[in-house]
Amino acid sequence: ETGVTQTPRHLVMGMTNKKSLKCEQHLGHNAMYWYKQSAKKPLELMFVYNFKEQTENNSVPSRFSPECPNSSHLFLHLHTLQPEDSALYLCASSRGGAGGTSTGELFFGEGSRLTVL
C-alpha cells in the first residue's frame, strides 16, 4: 500500500463537466496539500489542509473546490474548467503543523494528469 494514493491517474473532461480528484494518505500525517504542475512552471501550491481545516488558499479560482473530510482524505472537485487548467495535479501530505520545518518534508502521490478539452 503506497503512502499517498491518487485517483484517477488520468482524466479527460470537457469544459462543462464536473469531476473530482481523490487523494488518500496512509502515513498518519496531519497536513495535506494540492499542487498544480504545468510544463515549464514551478509547482504551484493550491490548497493546504491542517487537521482537516483549510489553512491556505493560494488565490485559486472557484472552479476548483477542495474538500477534506478527515486527515487521511482530500478531494479536489472540478467544474467548468478551462483548457489552461490542463496539468498534473499532485496531492501531498506532511507531518507538521503550520509553519513547522516538517511541513517541507512532503510525500507526494503519483498525480492525476488532467486534460480539459
- The single residue among 90, 93, 114, 116 that binds another protein, judged by CB under 8 A, is 90
Q: Does 75 bind another protein (CB under 8 A)?
A: no
- The single residue among 16, 41, 59, 84 that binds another protein, judged by CB under 8 A, is 41
- The single residue among 11, 25, 50, 78 that binds another protein, judged by CB under 8 A, is 50
Q: Does 74 bind another protein (CB under 8 A)?
A: no
Does residue 83 sit in helix, strand or coil? helix
Does residue 30 sit in helix, strand or coil? coil
Q: C-alpha grid cell for residue 86? A: 490542463
Say which residue the cell 470537457 belongs to. 14
CB atoms near residue 73 (< 10 Å): 16
Nearest distance in Å: CB 30, another protein: 11
Nearest residue to 44 via CA among 55, 56, 52, 53: 56
Q: What residue ranges bind another protein (CB under 8 A)? A: 31, 40-43, 45, 48, 50, 55-56, 58, 90, 96-101, 103-111
